[in-house]
Amino acid sequence: MLTSEHAVLRFEQGRAVPDRLVRDSHAHYVQLAERMLAVYQGGAGRSRRELHRSIEGIFANEPDCPSRRIQSFIKLLDDAGEFASDPKGAAAALRLRVFQKAAPFHPLMRVSDQLFTNAEAEVKRRIAEGLGVPWPDVESRLYADVMDWQRLVRFDGYATAEALLSRYNVAQVQVALYRATVMTVWARQDFKRILRYAKLARLLLDIRRIAPDEYRLDLAGPASILRETRRYGVNMARFLPWLLSCHGWHMRAVLMTPWKREAVLEMSASDGLCGSLPDPSDYDSGVEETFARKFGVERDGWRLIREGGILWEGQTLFVPDFLFRHRDGKEVFLEIVGFWTPEYLAKKREILRLFRDRRLLLAVAKQVARASVPAGRDARATGRGVIVFGKVLKVEPVLAALGEFQQSGYVAAIPAAPAPTSRTRRTAAPPCRL
């Protein structure tokens, strides 16, 4: 995944235009990509620094090639490789021993003379003999904990040069979306897949049915989130390749420019970009997966079903994260709220009121409900169908809430959002083409 420092993004008359390599004007990039892949495919044992310099050398005579484009290719190639690391601190310990052994001989000279008699090569030989390791091996391990000096172990890479160039085009759109305040997706086909991917990416979303066969998904962007913006931005970037694998959609994202103005980024399934991520698992590997694993298939007569139903009311749709179905036929829906904005919580309250006749249980991350939960109180079911949790949603309070539903049934009422601070910002697959 690229970072904001790799973005090659233009703003033209209210439009955001991510960098894109196209066949008409960048056909020669196929050969450049083949050379880049050859560097990494034959680069086992070389350091990141050496590999990066080789890639930069490939573009030395390439006119009109932004430095960020080159650094983006380097990042994408690095991400596809496996580099040796030093988790146990062996390099730091080795440096300490080498420096201690070298200290009595300082200053070291490349060539000794009458004044300074300690030649560098001779001292290195003595140190290597003392360590029982040839000096080249000592030197290769001396800075193994420094990223630039980490050495390539293996490179699975990209199947073809075209695949690398396609990945670059998608990555530039992904990094542009870090600036998004909102993304709107209109889906005519594959609506359920797109919805599933958005939920698995843990994006804040609002769904509307605008025609019998068309739906609109409004997704909050990273620039609208109060906290954890980086993690949320990665989630939105992760969603894009899954969206690109679907049919019958178009997207409009509102981006915040460096000058605090809005610019629009638009694209559709017919634009030729191609997603490169495998189909996701059933969970986002976070709170939901942990809870589902601990709860099991069935407990105390309640069977857990992932996204077990879609609730409709007029043009509004609501797809809770889980459905609990009891042996006696009673059903309770569970929705988990982690990321949030004041606007998102307001919409969530409207949805809960709209579906007031349904049994809804809401699990709310502690930072969302902090303003309405007394200090020192443990995460547990409240009297209003709300469970406040920390990093993990525990099974016991959920079972307690389900038990209360068994007794009487109640509708969840989402806690009021904390007052915004001054830092709050409100504002087959489609064919791939180079």
DSSP characters for 90-119? HHHHHHHHHHHHHGGGPSPBSS--SS---B
The DSSP H or E segment spanning 314 is none
* Pairwise CA distance, residues 403 & 288, whole Å: 21
pTM attached to this predicted model: 0.72
* Sequence-separated (6 or more) residues with CB below 8 Å from residue 422: none
Task: Tell me the pLDDT tens digit for each residue of 308-335.
Answer: 666 767 667 777 888 898 888 888 888 8
Higher pLDDT, 126 or 108: 126
Mean pLDDT of 419-429: 43
Q: Collapsing DSSP states into helix, strand and coil, what is residue 78?
A: helix
Lowest mean pLDDT among 11-25, 311-325, 370-384: 370-384
Higher pLDDT, 155 or 293: 155
* Pairwise CA distance, residues 402 & 385, whole Å: 9
* Pairwise CA distance, residues 427 & 342, whole Å: 11
Question: Between vectors from CA 285 to CA 279 and to CA 289, what angle results, nearest 5°?
Answer: 110
Report residue 381 as tokens: 């079911």
- The reported pLDDT for the residue numbered 403 is 86
- The reported pLDDT for the residue numbered 373 is 40
Cis before 418? omega within 30? no
Lowest mean pLDDT among 32-46, 189-203, 365-379: 365-379
- The reported pLDDT for the residue numbered 431 is 53
Query: Amino acid letter at 57?
Result: G
188 burial type by CB count under 10 A (0-12 exposed, 13-18 middle, 19+ buried): middle
Backbone angles phi, psi at 17, to 5 degrees: -125, 100
* Sequence-separated (6 or more) residues with CB below 8 Å from residue 274: 166, 170, 244, 245, 429, 430, 431, 432
- The reported pLDDT for the residue numbered 202 is 83
Q: Which single residue is written with the structure tokens 């830092």?
A: 423
CB neighbours of residue 4 within 10 Å: 12
